Amino acid sequence: MSLTRLGAVAYLNARPLVYGLELKTSHFALRFDAPSKCAALLHEHAIDLGMIPSIEFLRGHEPYRIVPELGITSEGPVASVALFCRTPLSAVRTIAADISSRTSNALLRILCVERFGLDPEFVPMAPDPVAMLERCDAALIIGDPALFLDPEAQSVRKIDLGEEWTALTGLPFVWAFWAGRTGALSPERLTELQNARSAGIAASDRIADEYCGPGRAALCRSYLRENIHYVLGEREQAGLQSFYELARAHELVEATRPIVFF
C-alpha cells in the first residue's frame, strides 16, 4: 500500500495525535500546517487524511469519513481559542478574525448572536495579536498564539470560546479531527493512528517540555492534561451535531451531513 499523506495542525494541541508517526516513514508522510491550510489541502486532494477544522467536514465537495475515537476536543475552558477584547464586550464593534481559523470563526459568529448579543464587523487578519488589537476592538486568536498571550501584559480581557460553548450548550466542543475520503485509510493504519494518540497522551509531559521549552513547560503540561482532550465519544458527537445545526441555522454552511466514520 502507498504512503498515507497526513496533514496535521502545526500547534501544540495536535502533537499527541501524531506522536511517533514521523518514524513510520514507510506508512505515513506527515506535514504540519495551519488549520485552514489542512482543510484546503484535503479539499484539493493534496493529502489523503487531514486534521481538519470540524466545520470543514461540511464544506468539502464530496463526503468525508472521520477516523473514529480521535479528535481535538474540550469541555469547558480550552485556553487556546479566545476572543481578546480591549473594550468591554458589550462595546465590541469590530473583531479581527484569525485567517488560520475556520471552526473558531464559525463558533464565534454563533456565540456573538446566541450568547453575547453582538453583531460586529469581522475583519480577516493574519495571526498577529498586536496588529489585530491595534486595528480592532477585539481579536479572535487561536492555537499557540492564544495560549501564550498574556492578557494582563496586553491590557485585554480573554474570553475563552470553549468555556462559552459549554456554558451555552452543556456539551463538549470538537475543534478538529482526522478526516478523508472513503478508502483513504486501511484498518491497519487506522489502528496506528489510534495507537499514536494513546502513546501521545501517555507522553504529554514530554511533548510539552520538548515543544515549549523550560520557560513555558508548566503551562503547556497543564494545557495538554486539563484543557485538551483526544476522544470523540458520544458526548463529543452530540456537541459536534449541535454545532453543525447552529452553523446551518446561522447560514454558515449550506447544509449538514451525517457524521460518518471509517
Cell of 213: 521549552
Q: What per-residue confidence (pLDDT) applies to 61?
A: 80
**Please, which pLDDT band fits residue 22 given cuts at 50, 70 and 90?**
confident
Q: What per-residue confidence (pLDDT) applies to 187?
A: 95
CA distances from 21 to 137, 166, 209 (A): 41, 32, 19
Residues with Cβ within 8 Å of 167's Cβ and at least 6 positions away in sequence, in order, are 115
Q: What per-residue confidence (pLDDT) applies to 62?
A: 84
Give tens-digit pLDDT for 179-211.
Answer: 999 999 999 999 999 999 999 999 999 999 999
> Above pLDDT 90, what percent of the chain?
94
Give tens-digit pLDDT for 46-63.
Answer: 999 999 999 999 997 888
Q: Does domain 4-74+172-249 have CATH number 3.40.50.1580?
A: no
Same fold, 4-74+172-249 and 81-169: yes
Give tens-digit pLDDT for 107-158.
Answer: 999 999 999 999 999 999 999 999 999 999 999 999 999 999 999 998 999 9
pTM greater than 0.85 (yes/no): yes
> Which residue type occupies 206?
R
Nearest alpha carbon to residue 123 among 112, 107, 101, 139:
139
Give tens-digit pLDDT for 64-93.
Answer: 999 999 999 999 999 999 999 999 999 999
pLDDT(25) > 90: no
The DSSP-derived string for 127-171 is: S-HHHHHHHSSEEEEEHHHHHH--HHHHT-EEEEHHHHHHHHHSS
Residue boundaries of the structural domains of the chain:
4-74+172-249, 81-169
**Please, which pLDDT band fits residue 1 given cuts at 50, 70 and 90?**
low
CATH of domain 81-169: 3.40.190.10
Cell of 20: 511517533
Our separate counts of H helices and E strands in the chain read 10, 11
